[in-house]
Amino acid sequence: MVFGRSSRKKRPVEPVTLKILVAGGFGVGKTTLVGAVSEIRPLRTEETLTEAGRPVDDIDGVEGKNTTTVAMDFGRITLREDLVLYLFGTPGQDRFWFLWDELAQGALGAVVLADTRRLEDCFAGIDYFERRGIPFAVAVNCFDGAARYPVETVRTALDLDEEVPLLLCDARDRETVKGVLIAVVEHALTRSADRRQTAST
């Protein structure tokens, strides 16, 4: 019996797995973003906000929020048959910043989620990734009722380099979040290729 090409079993593709961080201020929508795209049930470490935390938790602008991430969020999305992203959502409050260094190890890139009502809250995340040379994109989460600004106005307010991707998104919407993640991966791979080219010349 002669076997043609069509009868051969296709070898399963071993996907490349990449780690992406999702960072930003308290209440900006990191947990929502991870949950919107994750193809597995997201791991969440949310706890209820308490009176004891009021002196250290700044809830101005997000008074309706009654829970907070105390360790991380975790999700997974397959972008292609050969490409899987593991998403790690960082805690947004200053008192949990000691976890960021652990979460950042091995990360290809990051998303810094921003809210135009509290734009200053994402400065710390931007500074963190700039100082460590981790490629990142900024995604403005378009909350209902929040003021909308042109992308270039936001870029100027954040003092972002032109090479840093800046996108508008809805953290509840799977497709817009996928667009943000694709932008991060493409930006990180471009940065990596540029570094290799520079090193070889």
- The predicted structure's pLDDT at residue 1: 47
Q: Say if residues 61 and 121 touch (Cβ distance below 8 Å).
A: no
Q: Is pLDDT above 60 for 66?
A: no
- The predicted structure's pLDDT at residue 68: 52
pLDDT mean over 32-40: 95
Please, what is the Cα angle at 105 between 47 and 14, to 5 degrees? 100
- The predicted structure's pLDDT at residue 52: 46
Q: Which two tokens stand for residue 185?
A: 């991966």
Q: For a pLDDT cut of 70, what percent of the chain falls above it?
A: 79
* Confidence at 28, pLDDT banded by 50, 70, 90: very high
- The predicted structure's pLDDT at residue 11: 72
Helix axes 30-37, 174-200, angle to 10 degrees: 100
User: Any idea which residue has 């919107």 for tokens?
Assistant: 36
Q: Say if residues 132 and 64 touch (Cβ distance below 8 Å).
A: no
Higher pLDDT, 115 or 7: 115
- pTM above threshold 0.85: no
**Listed residue (148, 180, 177, 146) closest to 165, CA to CA:** 180
Q: Is pLDDT above 60 for 73?
A: yes
Higher pLDDT, 188 or 12: 188
DSSP label at 12?
P
